[in-house]
Amino acid sequence: MRHAVWVGAVAVLVTGVTAFAQEKKPDGKKPDDKKPDVLLKIEGHRGGVAAIAFNPEIPLLATGSGNGVIRVWELKAGKLAGRLDPQKHNGARVNHLGFSADGSLISASSKNAVVVWDISPPPPPIPPKKAPFDPKLDPFDPKIDPKGTLPEAKAVPADPVGRPLPVVYEDTLGTDAVKIGVVTGSGKRAYYTSTEGARITVSSHAFSGKVGADTSDEFKAGFTPLAVAAINDHDSDLVAMYGTAKGVDKSEPAVAFVGLGDAKIIARGMVRAPVAGRPLSINFAPDGKWLIVCNGEDLMYWRVPGSQVVTGDPKLLANSPAFAAAVGPNGRIAFASPPEDGKKVKVTITDVSGTSPKIIAEYATDIEKVSALAFSPDGGLLAVGDDTEGVVQVWSLK
């Protein structure tokens, strides 16, 4: 039996949320829109592109589609490196993709399914063994080495995805209202399942002894996770979830954390509620110093201290309607404007590391709807997913 995983209006000031307007040029105008420097166009998905993730250690890009297919691409060659098919789980939209910090594990999450694959390079070939001397063998037989060794084994290329990938853990069954998961930076499977309003247990499973023991956290109040992200840290199990927390008489939007001591819920009622029919974005920056949440219209962010303990209410990026968003190193946030009839999407890059947010660039695109964005580990590339045509554009930000 196979042991396996199945594994997006103008903002206004509200109580508990600090709103920042973005700086403009001295003449009062925003930077002129410009065309992006498109290094690569990746085609092949049907059902649009719903999730994107860069491998933190290997030049690979993972993309997930609206019909449940995950593909891995070689960035340098610009070609398909492998296709990861889950056990057909009704072709549900891939909501999240993630990598462990060492790049060896990839996770995919969708409705009622969480899967993890191992994409680490294959082990080195076994050294040749000595052949026992047999006088009956012809010493001139080219298959026999006169020195008494067998022909050397051919080296196996260290191609991380050019072979069938072992599924580390798979769970495609179940009728839970919510079932999402992600592989943590340290290499564990963090898995969440809940029914609206019910108390839930959040568990993590260690794939090997070197990443520590399994853990289990319980929220004292009901919490329904809708989007999930793990911090890119080899030694950390920190995972953030955006969802709704059950209050006294109603559910409120909130952010929850597990993996660093007791599970906790912050910003209850302070982050904005999800906008129906729009993608949800929650992700840590590749350098682990920022966290953002986008509800499909509002963009909220926190600075993450060295302790990785995120507290308090978020800052709100005012006057910046955001349909989808991602955060890169050094406090750079990219967000795509909401799709409008007859108009193309605009992507804005904003620096939030200073005293107030500052627009770095605005890009005019040929895309009608962007549902996924991702920064490369060094922040030099931005992957932009076209949720209409099923194309991923890789831009240079350098």
- For 280-304, write each residue's pLDDT tens digit: 999 999 999 999 999 999 999 999 9
How confident is the prediction for the chain on average, in pLDDT? 77
40/53 Cα distance (integer angstroms)? 15
Of 7 and 87, the structure prediction assigns the larger pLDDT to 87
The residue among 104, 40, 381, 51 whose CA lies nearest residue 234 is 104
Find how far residue 148's CA is from the centre of its chain: 52
Output the CA torsion 73→337→345→328 (10° steps): -30
Quick: pLDDT tens for 300-359.
999 999 888 888 899 999 889 999 999 999 999 999 999 998 899 999 999 999 999 999
**pTM greater than the 0.85 cutoff:** no
258/260 Cα distance (integer angstroms)? 6
State the residue for tokens 């991702």: 374
Longest pairwise C-alpha distance within the chain:
93
**pLDDT (0 to 100) of residue 226:** 87
DSSP letters, 107-159, are EEEETTEEEEEE-PPPPPPPPPPBPPP-TTS-TT-TTS-TTSBPPPPPPPP--
Of 136 and 324, the structure prediction assigns the larger pLDDT to 324
Of 183 and 158, the structure prediction assigns the larger pLDDT to 183
Average pLDDT for 169-177 = 54
Two structure tokens written together for 145: 């080495």
Instruction: Report residue 101's pLDDT band, with 50, 70 and 90 as the boundaries.
Output: very high
**pLDDT (0 to 100) of residue 261:** 73
Find how far residue 339's CA is from the centre of its chain: 22
Cα atoms found within 13 Å of the Cα of residue 382, Cβ hemisphere only:
27
Of 74 and 158, the structure prediction assigns the larger pLDDT to 74
**pLDDT above 70: percentage of residues in the chain:** 67
Domains of the chain, each with CATH number or no CATH: 18-121+163-396 (2.130.10.10)
65/94 Cα distance (integer angstroms)? 6
24/357 Cα distance (integer angstroms)? 10
105/211 Cα distance (integer angstroms)? 13
Output the CA torsion 350→278→47→2 (10° steps): 90
**pLDDT (0 to 100) of residue 140:** 45
Lowest mean pLDDT among 4-8, 19-23, 40-44, 183-187: 4-8
Two structure tokens written together for 131: 């052949």
**pLDDT (0 to 100) of residue 24:** 52
Lowest mean pLDDT among 79-88, 170-179, 222-231: 170-179
Instruction: Report residue 86's pLDDT band, with 50, 70 and 90 as the boundaries.
Output: low
CA distances in angstroms from 261 to 143, 280, 291, listed in the order given: 61, 26, 19
**pLDDT (0 to 100) of residue 4:** 33
Q: Inform me whether the pLDDT recorded for 3 exceeds 90.
A: no
Q: Inform me whether the pLDDT recorded for 232 exceeds 90.
A: yes
Q: Inform me whether the pLDDT recorded for 149 exceeds 60.
A: no
Quick: pLDDT tens for 248-275.
678 899 998 887 777 788 998 899 999 9
Average pLDDT for 233-237 = 88
Q: Are strands 370-375 and 381-386 parallel, antiparallel or unpaired?
A: antiparallel
**pLDDT (0 to 100) of residue 282:** 95
Two structure tokens written together for 17: 């949320």
**pLDDT (0 to 100) of residue 122:** 60
Contact between 398 and 380 under an 8 Å Cβ cutoff? The reply is yes
* Amino acid letter, 140: F
